[in-house]
A and B are shown apart, each in its own frame.
Chain A
């Protein structure tokens, strides 16, 4: 009763809030996005396509996809395993693990990159051994993968831990008491329960893996056509006054993000049809 009262009375306030939200959204999200695309197409579609077809740009796109394709599945597996362990079991050091998972969020990306230089650089702790065995980590693809995995470490686990904490372990206990083994329990009980959180975590993880700049910049070595990811390539082109090129690659990066969002919506929609919109 009282709730309905307050909503009818606050109509003006509600409209005001909606307008404010839309204004903010327009100003801080839609406008920059449009600016990116319009800058990219400023000299016509031909210039845009040329910029994207440039071998260095293609190499950057390929590298970015490769990095995401390696680091996202790794962190998906790790995230599920960690949140499973943290929420379904009690063990000493559990709180420490929760805190450690958050570490990459609290450390500046530049520092994260430097950690790897310190470890694997020519004068780092493991550098001389690696050099003697002909293994290249820093200033090569493995270093970029390591830095990206480190940076995107918490995304999946951070999504899943609160969700699984809230769900408790009643369902799993029921499954096990009915004779399911651990794998069956995970596959048929836990996974369906956490699928939305997992999907969301993976998407965030993917977005960051493709977009990471700071840590990757430190370990990349900036070799054109080889160790430049898309964000690094955008910065280089911008600094070289190649604004069309910079914004063309930037708009591709933005488009990848948009595609990710569309895929998420599509998946949600399909699942809703199947499961009768219960989640």
Chain B
């Protein structure tokens, strides 16, 4: 029995240490809300981190000057579809800044957290910035890729994520479809073109960043279909010169929308500041930050200022050319849609 005592003491000490850690860790953290401060939770998709890091402090300063109130931000980033799901499941977003209108539509229809006509609340379909799909090729463009037609040449490997799971991949698919339809003059020609295109895809990753990693880090494929902002960012982050951006003759105008999640904002008492935050995105100041972070600005003057960075490309749009996201989703990506047809009947 005597030997039990030192052991016992050690166990007690260990238990006490654990409890102490818990208490110490518990003391820190947890945001305080007092009268003259307000907190906004912005739930966004993956590539907007740098953008909102630039926007948030600037808006906080502008809001403080106007109202005297301090604004703190909670940022959450993830795949657009996943983030939309999380808001429906109860993630406390005051504003959603996602990749596709479809994902915010889902919050309206499945979560009933904002009105179905949310897209009319702000100018330009509630999309204060746009982007498009371009090609990223390896240095020197060894396969000579200049337009969509070159992607289906024999021996060219195309990297794009899976449209079933990735928002970005749906834009890729629809841009390819638009080219096929324009080149061949019919939907049948478009289907034949995307069928050939997807036959040249060696790996279908589940998300856009996964595809970028496949192409950039693992060195697989000759051309990556990428968001323009992602392509410009990866060039900047990974060193220019390793890759080149090729602008196709035709692409799709991607409009990542923003919206106040009305029910949550009402609950938190943040309606005014959340609305002002999203409106701020349309100011010239914010538009410059947007352009610097590789999104195409809406403001014509800012756009003119950055025109070297964003060459003119002929755009199709989801609303005019595909009848909106609801219709496009149903025709192309739902089970039994065009994408299933072209990938199963190989």
Contacts and interface: CB of A to CB of B under 8 A. Distances in A.
Interface stretch (B4-12, B58-66, B241-249, B292-300): B4-12
Contact of B76 (A62, A187, A224): A224
Contacts of A222: 76-78
A223 B86 contact: no
A221 B91 contact: yes
Count chain A CB atoms within 10 A of each CB in B4, B90, B91 and give the residue with the most.
B90
Contacts of A124: 89
Interface stretch (A65-73, A98-106, A251-259): A65-73
B35 interface: no
A29 B260 CA distance: 48
Interface of B: prevailing SS: helix
A108 B11 CA distance: 34
Interface string B64-98: 00000000001111100000001011111000000
A163 interface: no
Interface in B277-325: none
B21 interface: yes
Contact of B46 (A191, A239, A274): A239
Contacts of B91: 138-139, 221
B88 A123 contact: yes
B107 to A, nearest CB: 11
B209 interface: yes
Given A69-B18, A195-B11, A127 B90 contact: yes
Contacts of B10: 267, 270-271
A136 B92 contact: yes
A72 B90 CA distance: 27
A66 B26 contact: yes
Interface string A103-142: 0000000000000010011111001000100001011000
Contact of A274 (B6, B76, B90): B6
Contacts of A191: 8, 11
A240 B92 contact: no
Contact of A240 (B8, B28, B29, B49): B49
A254 B91 CA distance: 31
Contacts of A221: 76, 86, 91
A62 B29 contact: yes
Interface in B23-59: 25-26, 28-29, 31, 41, 46, 49
A239 B46 CA distance: 9
Interface residues of A, number: 40
Nearest to A70: B22
Contact of B90 (A66, A121, A188, A192): A121
B234 interface: yes
A62 B28 contact: yes
A114 to B, nearest CB: 10
Interface in A37-60: 59
B22 A187 contact: no
A72 B234 CA distance: 40
Interface in A167-222: 187-188, 191-192, 195, 221-222
Nearest to B18: A73
B92 to A, nearest CB: 7
A236 interface: yes
B111 interface: yes
Contacts of A224: 74-77
Contacts of A117: 89
A214 to B, nearest CB: 13
B89 A122 contact: yes
B209 A239 contact: yes
Given A188-B1, A241-B238, A223 B75 contact: yes
B344 interface: no
A195 B15 CA distance: 13
Contacts of A139: 86, 89-92
Contact of B25 (A62, A120, A131, A271): A62
B19 interface: yes
Nearest to B110: A123
B237 interface: yes
A188 B74 contact: no
B21 A274 contact: no
A195 B92 CA distance: 44
B4 A188 contact: yes
B29 A59 contact: yes
Contacts of B4: 188, 192
Interface string A59-96: 10011011001101100000000000000000000000
B311 to A, nearest CB: 24
B74 A241 contact: no
Contacts of B25: 62, 65-66, 69
Nearest to A225: B74
A223 B75 CA distance: 5
Contacts of A65: 21, 25
B139 to A, nearest CB: 18
B7 A138 contact: no
B89 A72 contact: no
Given A123-B89, A139-B86, A226-B74, 12 more contacts: A62-B25, A65-B25, A66-B22, A70-B22, A122-B90, A123-B88, A124-B89, A139-B89, A188-B4, A191-B11, A221-B86, A239-B209
22 contacts: A62-B28, A65-B21, A66-B25, A69-B21, A70-B22, A73-B18, A73-B19, A120-B90, A121-B90, A131-B90, A138-B91, A139-B86, A139-B92, A192-B4, A195-B11, A222-B78, A223-B74, A223-B76, A224-B77, A239-B209, A240-B49, A271-B7
